[in-house]
Amino acid sequence: LTTTFAFTVICGGMISRTFANSISSDSDKIRGLAIALLGQKRNLLESITADDYTKPCQSVFNATVGSHVRHSLNHYQSLISAVERNSVTNYDDRQRNTDIETDKVAAMTELDVIVAKVPTLHLEDLVIMKFYGDASINFEPYSVHSNIGRELSFVTHHAVHHLAMIKLIMNNMSYTTSEQVGIAMSTLKNLQSPNNDQCSAGK
């Protein structure tokens, strides 16, 4: 299904330029990558025990698999909340020690909810997201005017890093994980290059 939208630049009350863009291909890629990354996360949760899900890993800043799952899913939840409520949502206004962090079944249930909602998102729609980013550390939020497609791309890109951390924690607990889990697309592309320098992997 091809969705066409018009982007206008308004100057002095007159429309100076109108663009008609077909976004179906990019939208499919954005949604597909989000669902694939969430699927990778679910596969990891299926293989870990409930006790190991909340077990701190001393070599990785005492973090748990659950804390990284909760953190990355919070970003998807924030975006979906902004869409469903048609309101501004702060990515950094996150709840900690929730069921998603302490109960792998609750996390898998929420993963399924998010995966079901990704195809329903209208990626061309505008959205406003906030962050805490005041350099003076007064925690004054700033706003970013964006669209849902760009933000879904962001939260998925962000999830790759946390998948890598989850993989590292699980490997420390002697779990076997797929080599491609938690690897950025740029790194995969580099590894497939005929001029690949193995030392540059992960950069």
pLDDT at 157: 94
pLDDT of residue 194: 77
Tens-digit pLDDT profile for residues 128-148: 999 987 666 777 888 999 999
Q: From CA 113, how far away is CA 119, in angstroms rounded?
A: 11
Give the pLDDT confidence score for residue 73 in this predicted structure.
Answer: 96
Tokens of 32: 């597909």
CB-count burial class (<10 Å; 0-12, 13-18, 19+) for 149: buried
Going by the DSSP 8-state scheme, the letter that residue 137 receives in this structure is: S
DSSP string, 59-125: GGTTB-HHHHHHHHHHHHHHHHHHHHHTS-EETT----S-HHHH-HHHHHHHHHHHHHHGGG--TTS
Show the tokens assigned to 40: 């990778």
pLDDT, residue 7, reads 30
Low-confidence ranges of the chain (pLDDT < 70): 1-24, 134-136, 196-203
pTM of the model: 0.79
Structure tokens given for 6: 């018009």
- In the prediction, which pLDDT does 89 show? 87
At CB < 8 A and 24+ separation, what contacts does 117-123 make? 117/80, 118/31, 118/34, 118/35, 118/38, 118/152, 119/31, 119/35, 121/31, 121/80, 121/83, 121/148, 121/152, 122/3, 122/148, 123/23, 123/26, 123/27, 123/30, 123/31, 123/147, 123/148, 123/149, 123/152
